[in-house]
Structure 1
């Protein structure tokens, strides 16, 4: 069973925001202290697109097919998770944490797993597949403790 020891870093992330919290106490009474956050400005795809999707000629006579336009909003979400992975690597390399709990939506967890360096994955004690970025810290404490107790 994973436990929240003193000094454990808890990263709570979604596809546009990450909170960095540090446990100041023990597992029985976690006290997560806010250390910082990362956020990206990601307007809707409609605001980022330059023009309407294009069309291309098909092999048949007078046939044309529509092409999907790039979904810039979705690309930015994936890039944010990848950037978060890089940030965690920098922090691990500097020795800023020995134990790590990641709380993120399943999609973000998937991207993080693909991108994270071994130096970071070796320090992960638990992953919680939930989106909690808009919850108050005391609720995050309770939910993370419950998830770790259930594991």
Structure 2
């Protein structure tokens, strides 16, 4: 059973928003305070694409096949996870936190795990694979406490 002890940081993120929180109370009744907020402007893929997908000649006479266009929206999501990992590494290296709980949806968690530096992974004391960025902080505290207690 993991707890959010006093001084533990909590990263609550999705693919476009991240909240860096710190527990200023005890593990029994966590009280999270926002230390930093990070947003990414990520319009839909259609709005980011410059033109229609390309085409290339096919094996048959007069036939052409379309090529998949780059999914810029998805790339931006992955890039955001990488930016978060870099930021966590800098903060961990500076000694800003000794323990961290990471809460984000499964896909973001996967991208983030791939990017986290070993110095950060050693400080991860809990993971919650849920989307919490749309909840008020008091609701986040309750969900995190319940999820970590059942882990």
TM-score range, shorter chain: over 0.9
Cα separation, 2, equivalents of 1:95 and 1:60 = 63
The secondary structure found in structure 2 opposite 1:126 is strand
- Residue equivalent to 1:44: 44
- Residue equivalent to 1:15: 15
Are positions 1:136 and 2:139 aligned together?
Answer: no
> What is the CA-CA distance between 1:69 and the residue it aligns to?
1.1
- Residue equivalent to 1:68: 68
Structure 1 spans left out of the alignment, 5+ residues: none
The number of residues matched between the two structures is 151
The secondary structure found in structure 2 opposite 1:130 is coil
Runs of 4+ in 1 over 6 A off after TM superposition: none
Cα separation, 2, equivalents of 1:87 and 1:35 = 13
Cα separation, 2, equivalents of 1:11 and 1:115 = 15
- Residue equivalent to 2:85: 85
Cα separation, 1, equivalents of 2:38 and 2:131 = 15
> What is the CA-CA distance between 1:61 and the residue it aligns to?
2.0
- Residue equivalent to 2:110: 110
Cα separation, 2, equivalents of 1:36 and 1:85 = 14
> What is the CA-CA distance between 1:59 and the residue it aligns to?
2.3
The secondary structure found in structure 1 opposite 2:5 is coil
Cα separation, 2, equivalents of 1:52 and 1:58 = 18
The secondary structure found in structure 2 opposite 1:133 is coil
Cα separation, 2, equivalents of 1:15 and 1:42 = 9
Q: TM-score, normalised by structure 1?
A: 0.98
Cα separation, 1, equivalents of 2:148 and 2:127 = 9
1:103-140 per-position Cα deviation (integer Å, ceiling 9, x unaligned) = 00000100111111100000000010001001100000
